[in-house]
Chains A and B, each alone.
Chain A
Amino acid sequence: MRDLLRRATDNRFFRSIVRHGFPDSNRNRSLVVFSNFFMHIHPTKVRLRAIEFARTLYLGGLSAGCFFILVVTGVLLMFYYRPSVPQGYHDMKDLQFTVSVGMFLRNLHRWTAHTMVAFVMAHMAVTFFRGAYRPPREFNWVLGVFLLVMTILLSYTGYLLPWDQLAYWAVTVGTNMAESVPVVGSKVKLLMLGGHTINESALIRFYVLHCVVLPLLMVLGISVHIWRVRKDGGIHLPPVDGDKT
């Protein structure tokens, strides 16, 4: 097996893509990480303590994993969904009854979304209890708060899209709250909904926010968040002698 892999990777074509040799030496293993666009968010070596499951429960990574699943399933759902009234609702029915694995696709998107909200909240709690917001990681904590708000907004804007009773009234509860902001409240609500009630212009606004604006902000935020982890010296580890919280 190893010989086969070695032969497959040891030729000019493969070496033009991946410039280092077979990763059985620590030098080449470093290069796997160091010379790869997708891996370069990692250092080439990590402290064993930093990658223990019990330390972080991998919640940050799993939240990012949820986001990845959501992007994939979300794009697939976009092929079948038209954001208009009442067509949006009928497209949901089609997904349920006529599109192959349509129901599964929608289920996966919805359950992953709920999971992501829960994971991001849990990630924040673990980060607090570990004291990992301490300098030099203060700003990354602030970015994390931003990402939590983005996650909730993404989930919330997606909630309206099925255009069923559940969606409509859940979103109504939220927009009524926005209305109670002093002075600008009714203006904010008008801006969110594109009208005084939730109708088609609200649906298209939520759709564009959900499918374009917020995901772009999210990708940007996650990128900076992960980049800052590296720049701030990797994940927070307490001194070897004790865990003071």
Chain B
Amino acid sequence: MRTFEATGGDNAQKVPVRVVVVQGEERPPVDVTDEPMVMTFPHLLVRELIAFLALSLVLILLSLFANAPLEEIANPTRTPNPAKAPWYFLGLQELLHYYPPLVSGVIMPGFLIVALVIIPYAKINLERRPLVEQKRSGMLLILWGVIAALSLIFYFTGSEPVWPFIGTLLLVGVGMTLGATSTSKNPMLVWLRSRSLPFWIFSWFLLAATVLTLIGVFFRGPGWRFILPWRDGIYY
């Protein structure tokens, strides 16, 4: 077997002599398939056009009928009560109610960003094996042990129990237990059974973030007190 050495050289016509591309698992899947293919023009481009036009239509209609808010001119001496951040930060602002700013404004979002970035580099996220397949003895015990421990942490460490975390955690725990224990052929349960641990963790994060944001938007009034929007109105 001949070996080739990659060398430099000033004459680009002569060097490199051969280009060998062997990249193992990095190779994008370009295998020939026999599944249906269509021409990008018109099939994909028409879909893109329709999607963009539909988006524009919805946004234009919304903009015709709903006006963007404009309050009085900014006044640094008069703090509105409550002062709320944009909706996508209200989950964080809601957390601020339970934890000091260092935890809720820096450590938790920082942890979140790092966790998101490393997702594709963790083996567990690449395999995504169904929870039931892993057949660990006492898996449910470990599962509920972890859930109980986390719940206790969220119950006692905050200025008051962090129910948005605990509630969603219990919900996800019930889903996992149903999936891991059921043997029924009900399609819903079969679907639950095939879910993996990363699926459940991400779902918990999404649920918790959504609940926190909804509480921040709809259920917080003056002094960040808990309110009922249908009784006290929406402060946003």
> Cβ of A166 < 8 Å from any Cβ of B?
yes
Contact A145 B116 (CB under 8 A): yes
Contact B71 A103 (CB under 8 A): no
Q: What secondary structure prevails in chain A residues at the interface with B?
A: helix
> Cβ of B37 < 8 Å from any Cβ of A?
yes
Complex CA–CA separation, A96 to B119 (angstroms): 45
Complex CA–CA separation, A143 to B41 (angstroms): 28
Partner among B73, B87, B121 whose Cβ is within 8 Å of the Cβ of A163: B73
B31 to chain A, nearest CB (A): 10
Q: How large is the interface on B (under 10, 10 to 19, 20 to 34, 35 or more residues)?
A: 35 or more
Contact B117 A111 (CB under 8 A): no
Chain A residues lying within 8 Å of B39, measured Cβ to Cβ, are 26, 29-30, 44-45
A103 to chain B, nearest CB (A): 6
> Cβ of A181 < 8 Å from any Cβ of B?
yes
Q: What secondary structure prevails in chain B residues at the interface with A?
A: helix
Contact of A42 with B101 at beta-carbon distance under 8 Å, contacts A61-B51, A134-B126, A174-B85 already known = no
> Cβ of B69 < 8 Å from any Cβ of A?
yes
Contact B44 A136 (CB under 8 A): no
Chain A residues lying within 8 Å of B37, measured Cβ to Cβ, are 45-48
Chain B residues lying within 8 Å of A162, measured Cβ to Cβ, are 70
B 118-167 contacts with A by CB, 8 A? 119-121, 125-126, 128
A237 to chain B, nearest CB (A): 8
Chain B residues lying within 8 Å of A26, measured Cβ to Cβ, are 39
Contact of A110 with B68 at beta-carbon distance under 8 Å, contacts A26-B39, A141-B120 already known = yes
Partner among A46, A86, A145, A177 whose Cβ is within 8 Å of the Cβ of B106: A177
The segment from A9-17, A149-157, A205-213, A215-223 found at the interface with B is A149-157
Contact of A23 with B41 at beta-carbon distance under 8 Å, contacts A61-B51, A135-B26, A245-B128 already known = yes
Chain B residues lying within 8 Å of A48, measured Cβ to Cβ, are 35-38, 43
> Cβ of A54 < 8 Å from any Cβ of B?
no
Complex CA–CA separation, A178 to B106 (angstroms): 8
Contact B119 A49 (CB under 8 A): no
> Cβ of B59 < 8 Å from any Cβ of A?
yes
Contact B42 A29 (CB under 8 A): yes
> Cβ of A62 < 8 Å from any Cβ of B?
yes
Interface residues as binary, A100-144 with B (CB distance below 8 Å gives 1, 0 otherwise) = 000110111111101101000100110011010111111001100
CB closest chain-B residue, reference A169: B83
Contact A46 B40 (CB under 8 A): yes
Complex CA–CA separation, A234 to B29 (angstroms): 9
B28 to chain A, nearest CB (A): 3
Contact B41 A180 (CB under 8 A): no
> Cβ of B60 < 8 Å from any Cβ of A?
yes
Complex CA–CA separation, A66 to B196 (angstroms): 33
Interface residues as binary, A29-53 with B (CB distance below 8 Å gives 1, 0 otherwise) = 1101100000100111111110101
Given A44-B40, A65-B52, 19 more A-B residue pairs with CB atoms under 8 Å apart are A45-B39, A47-B35, A48-B36, A48-B37, A48-B38, A51-B44, A58-B51, A92-B70, A107-B62, A111-B59, A137-B120, A138-B121, A163-B73, A164-B71, A166-B71, A177-B106, A180-B101, A182-B102, A245-B128
Q: Can you pick out 29 interface pairs between chain A and chain B where the beta carbons lie within 8 Å of each other?
A: A29-B40, A30-B41, A42-B44, A42-B45, A46-B40, A51-B44, A53-B47, A58-B51, A69-B59, A89-B74, A104-B64, A106-B68, A108-B63, A111-B59, A111-B68, A142-B117, A156-B89, A162-B70, A165-B75, A165-B80, A170-B83, A173-B83, A173-B89, A177-B101, A178-B105, A179-B101, A180-B102, A240-B35, A245-B196
Q: Enumerate chain B interface residues (CB-CB to A < 8 A).
A: 25-30, 33, 35-45, 47-48, 51-52, 55-56, 59-60, 62-64, 66-76, 78-80, 83-89, 92-93, 96, 100-102, 105-106, 113, 116-117, 119-121, 125-126, 128, 194-196, 199, 202, 206
Q: Which 5 A-B pairs have the closest CB atoms?
A: A233-B28, A180-B101, A177-B105, A168-B74, A138-B120
